[in-house]
Copies of this chain bind each other. A is one copy, B any other.
Amino acid sequence: MTLLADLLSTVFERRYRPFALRRRGTRPLPDLADELVGAAGETSGVSLATEILSGFGEMDDDEKRAFFSHLATEMNIDPEAVRTALDAYEQAPSKATYRAYMAAAEPRRQELIRRLNSLPGATRALVEMRADLLRLGRGTPELEALDLDFRHLFASWFNRGFLVLRPINWESPAHILEKITQYEAVHAIHSWDDLRRRLEPQDRRCFAFFHPAMPDEPLIFVEVALTRGTPGSVQALLTSERETLREDEADTAVFYSISNCQAGLASISFGNSLIKQVAADLSAGLPGLKTFVTLSPIPGLTRWLDSEGYEWQGASSEQMRALAAHYLLNAKLDNGDPVDPVARFHLGNGAIVHAVHGEADTSENGRKQSGGTMVNYLYDLAKVAQNHEQFATTRQMVATSEVRSLANSATLVKAEDS
């Protein structure tokens, strides 16, 4: 009882964001920030942190930019101090000299962020603060550098070991479902009926990662369809007219949508862990599942075809498939990575290109970005580590022979030739 009662009370405590209710004081936030990282911060830290987070929440963009600039310049490392401490440590390595080096080598703003986080509700406020920083700092080198400090700390705090995987279903709290609806980035949820069709039937699943300090905020979620065989059309998956499959009759789990929820957690990678964890959990509960695939968009296809000057607008479904296969396997960035961001993500996770489908996403957006094509990436849990290794080393796209043949069959016609 006690454990849960407390976790419950904690949830409520965190939800009640005291700093949001505080009047903004008269002292400038940069001064408060300097004080918080100083000696006084140890004891009066809570009230200072409250005042800073409360104050930040009421700022306009110019004020926020100024606050970030203060962190970026005044709370940066002092190169001379780093050198001095480093020399002292090198000459006489000891606990004391190493401690002095650590203090000098890390910018004070990292300690500031940690001390701000000592408050219930602060983690969420800091994630929102970073979202502001990403938005306002783009193109400003010192703010982009400042972001690396946020990212460094967030990567540590949002470590997989601290995350909780939760199923999202028709018994989940409405306010969580509302966020799922709002954050779905791949195949928009049009209504509560649409949402219910993705959550309630026994052949539909959804899972999200949460952090205990932000229990009301999903971090990332994946939608899964349990099917017989690998599906080649997302509209067929989502139609309101399909029949529900009994879960124990499914042989395939299809990850048909993965969405990040928090702009302030950009570049903190969860997707890799999420897919593998969900695949492992589903596998344990439903031994009939043999195949784990995605049904993924190919967001960069037509843009790339256009940029390369290839014709495609009148292509048949079969021709479009071939073009998509060619693009996935051969369109590369300078560093050897695939051009397609989704391919990059799944191949980097150790998946392979399993099959390419035409007329698979007939929505307006699907037609526009990929001529209606979609792709299955296959997660073979026994081989993902080896696939990842091979991809990381060689940047070679692993694909089934069928997809390779398809790619070879593509007819690439320069647009001006036509």
Contact = CB atoms under 8 A, between A and B. Distances in A.
Contacts of A272: 42-43
Given A8-B4, A167-B2, A173-B2, A40 B159 contact: no
A89 to B, nearest CB: 7
A156 to B, nearest CB: 6
Nearest to A5: B8
Contact of A93 (B145, B156, B212): B145
25 contacts: A1-B3, A2-B172, A4-B4, A4-B7, A5-B166, A6-B164, A6-B167, A42-B272, A43-B388, A44-B385, A44-B388, A93-B141, A95-B141, A95-B148, A98-B148, A99-B148, A102-B152, A105-B106, A114-B155, A156-B157, A164-B212, A170-B173, A172-B174, A173-B174, A174-B199
A87 to B, nearest CB: 8
A120 B160 CA distance: 8
A213 interface: yes
A1 B114 contact: no
Contacts of A348: 43
A36 to B, nearest CB: 13
Contact of A350 (B11, B43, B161): B43
Given A156-B157, A389-B40, A145 B175 contact: no
Given A142-B93, A144-B95, A123 B161 contact: yes
A153 interface: yes
A384 interface: yes
A392 B174 contact: no
A316 interface: no
A248 interface: no
Interface string A1-43: 1111111101100000000000000000000000000011011
Q: Please state the number of chain copies in the assembly.
A: 4
Nearest to A172: B2
Given A4-B4, A39-B392, A102 B148 contact: yes
A83 B87 CA distance: 10
Contacts of A153: 156
A201 interface: no
Contacts of A389: 40, 43-44
Nearest to A119: B161
Contacts of A192: 192
Contacts of A227: none
Contacts of A11: 1, 3
A6 to B, nearest CB: 4
Contact of A213 (B39, B161, B200): B161
A211 to B, nearest CB: 9
